[in-house]
Structure 1
Amino acid sequence: MSITSSLSVLLTNSSAETLTLVSSKVTGSSSTGSISLPQTVTRGTYGGLGVPASDTPYTVEWVYTPDGGATHLSFTTKLDGKDGITIIPSESGPLAGSWQLEEHLERLGDGWLVRYYYNVV
């Protein structure tokens, strides 16, 4: 059986607008059922976040909002095995066109380090 890699997370908000956590979840992991994310993300970078390796493929999803919940800025990250990773960013709501979500990933030992960016356009 193949071990699914760990996920280390860095969140970067390049805007002066505060982002508030709407929801977060981990599904399918044999090692954890949740990810601890900051309730608010102001301008800057937040680290020390992540999910340990798992015996099973898993998905990590979270949603932040810049406007009290009308606009959703979400990332869905699917991990499968040592090298399988898919990241799906999504913006929806009235301010969706004002935000651009990006990510940059790299190997970090036996896991992935992913930098998730929230940028105002």
Structure 2
Amino acid sequence: MPLIKQLLAGKRPLRLAILYSCVITVLFFIPSGELPKTDFSEADKLIHVLVYFVLANLWILYLYVKNGHHLYKRGTLILLFSILLYGIIIEIFQGLFTVSRSADILDVASNLVGSLLGIYFFKNVKHKLKA
């Protein structure tokens, strides 16, 4: 069975989205001293963009499959706002409950950019998933 059909089978998109969400939630609370160091100062923001790009794609894939291979504007907007709220809550919790991390509005902006890019990307490739 082709990989795309395997991904779209049954409850797999939901399981992938939930698993990824749980993993990144845990990773966002790892003390920053334990993370690899880079010389590239914007690496943190690019990582946020990439993480949220994948997060948005997994959740929109789930919605797409759940709705019979259709994307509805309302569902997409609710998804976008939910992911944005999740990112804001993570940043607040990092500031309140961790010692080596702090809340950063630029991380929230990077999360939003990644989410928007993810949704835009999915909308442009979703026709390939029907095959």
Structure of greater relative contact order (alpha carbons < 8 Å, 6+ residues apart)? 2
Q: Which has the higher strand share?
A: 1
Larger Rg over CA atoms: 2
TM-score (structure 1 length as normaliser): 0.30
TM-score (structure 2 length as normaliser): 0.28
